[in-house]
Structure formats: structure tokens, C-alpha cells
Amino acid sequence: MVAAPSGAGKSTLVNALLEREPAISLSVSHTTRPPRTGEQYGRHYYFVERAEFEREVAEGIFLEHAEVHGNLYGTSRTTVDGLLAQSRDVLLEIDWQGARQIRAAKPDCVSVFILPPSRPELERRLRGRGSDAPEVIERRLHNSREEIAHAHEFDYIVVNDRFEDALDDLQAIVHAVRLRSPLQWARHQALIDALLAP
Ligand SMILES: Nc1nc2c(ncn2[C@@H]2O[C@H](COP(=O)(O)OP(=O)(O)O)[C@@H](O)[C@H]2O)c(=O)[nH]1
Ligand SMILES: Nc1ncnc2c1ncn2[C@@H]1O[C@H](COP(=O)(O)OP(=O)(O)O)[C@@H](O)[C@H]1O
């Protein structure tokens, strides 16, 4: 899972990570936020009306869902389970509230929080992106404090100052996760058995 205040560079970093790590798939979320210019249904998000989203919540289709910046966002159970069934590593872009729900549902998950190098730089990036109306940017800047206040709940923190350094850090986390003991025991059982043989 990757979380960050809006504008820290989370989506840009995640997209670059996916190019470097083709075994990872991004889970496409459902949202009631209107699409930005260039965003495509099914690629960036499944854009739905609030009534439809609320019906889906009642049907229990979401592994987690939360209200962020006045819009609803959710991760579909079937999207994640479908990717896991194909032995894909699944990456979620999610806020701190959703991350809490995923930790409860999937205790072996790994979470990363992206920090911007400073407040002025966060503001510069949010405005420079040019994708949101001024009042939407103000709301995201205001909400960034609440998001950042939860950074300590995450397993890893990456500061996105120089982009390539932050990308290297993210990739190092992916490599470390793949080397975790339970996975390695399963993968190298034959080797371990041979080494333990008398
Ligand atoms: N809980 C939850 N949060 C999500 C989900 N998808 C996106 N978000 C979060 O919603 C927030 C807003 O995302 P978005 O509207 O794409 O704006 P951006 O972060 O400024 O690019 C970010 O913190 C995302 O991580 C989801 O499925 N569940
Ligand atoms: N390390 C960086 N240095 C400068 N600009 C960056 C960096 N990382 C991302 N950006 C820019 O900041 C803006 C916000 O990035 P984005 O990935 O949309 O953020 P988020 O998904 O966290 O809201 C984009 O215009 C992006 O190109």
C-alpha cells in the first residue's frame, strides 16, 4: 500500500515503479470523484455516482472504503482477489483510513508513506499539476496535515525530494518485501531441506 498527502508525487512514483517492476499490478479503485482531464474509466479509476457507490458498499463489494477530500473511494474485493489468484503482487494507492482497514483484513501487507520535502514544495506540486480547481487544491492542502499525522502508522517512509532517489527507495522496499522469510521458506524449501539433511 502506498499513501501520501495529495501532490506529494504518489501516482507519478507508483507509475514509474510499475514500469520497473512488471510483476506488480495496481488495484484500480472505485471513486465518486469526477474524472480529471485525461483520466480513463477502468484505467485510473472506476468512476461511479455516489448512489451506486453506496449500493456497492451495502452489497459488501469493498475490501475497504473511505471518504477522502469529500469523495468516496474504495478497493474492490474481486479486483484484489483476482490479481492475487494470478500470483500478481498487488499495489494499492490508498489513504490512511483505508490503510488501517487493509492492515486489519490482510495482516501481512506492507505499507509505505510518501512525504514531500517541504510544505512550499507540496503546494508548488499541487498547483503545478494543473488538474484541480483552486478550491479543490485548497481543500487538499488543508487535508494534507491530517494525512501526514498518520505517517507513523506505516511500515516505511520515503521522502520524495529527488524523484529518482525516491523511486530507488520504493524499489528497494519491494525487493526487501520479496526477501521476507515466509516467502523465502516456501520458495527455497528444497534448498533448506538439502542443507538440513545429515
Ligand atoms: N481508502 C481509499 N483511498 C483511496 C483509494 N483510491 C485513492 N485513494 C486516496 O484518495 C486520495 C485522493 O486521490 P485522488 O483523487 O486520485 O487525488 P490525488 O491524490 O491528489 O492524486 C489519495 O489519498 C488516494 O490515495 C481507495 O480505493 N481507497
Ligand atoms: N520528485 C519530484 N520533484 C518534482 N515534482 C514532482 C516530483 N514527484 C512528482 N512531482 C510532480 O508533482 C505533481 C503531483 O504528483 P502526483 O503524482 O500527481 O501526486 P499525488 O498522486 O501524490 O497526488 C505532478 O505534477 C508530478 O509530476
Say what the ipTM of the complex is: 0.98
Residue 11 annotated as part of some ligand binding site? yes
Does residue 4 have its Cβ closer than 6 Å to ligand 2?
A: yes
What would the grid cell of residue 116 be? 514531500
Using DSSP, state whether 108 is helix, strand or coil.
Answer: coil
- Mean pLDDT calculated for residue range 77-103: 95
Residue 82 annotated as part of some ligand binding site? no
Q: Which atom of ligand 2 is nearest to the CA of 129?
A: 25
Q: Which CATH architecture has domain 2-196?
A: 3-Layer(aba) Sandwich (3.40)
- Mean pLDDT, the chain, rounded, equals 96
The pLDDT assigned to 159 comes to 98
CA atoms within 13 A on the CB side of 106: 16
Residue 176 predicted with pLDDT over 90:
yes
pLDDT 10s digits, 102-158: 999 999 999 999 999 999 999 999 999 988 999 999 999 999 999 999 999 999 999
Residue 66 annotated as part of some ligand binding site? no
Ligand 1 midpoint to CA 101 (Å): 14
What contacts 157, CB < 8 A, 6 or more positions away?
A: 112, 113, 114, 115, 151
Ligand 2 midpoint to CA 160 (Å): 9
pTM of the predicted structure, to 2 decimals: 0.95
pLDDT 10s digits, 160-175: 999 999 999 999 999 9
Does residue 72 have its Cβ closer than 6 Å to ligand 1?
A: no
DSSP string, 134-187: HHHHHHHHHHHHHHHTTGGGSSEEEE-SSHHHHHHHHHHHHHHHHT-HHHHHHH
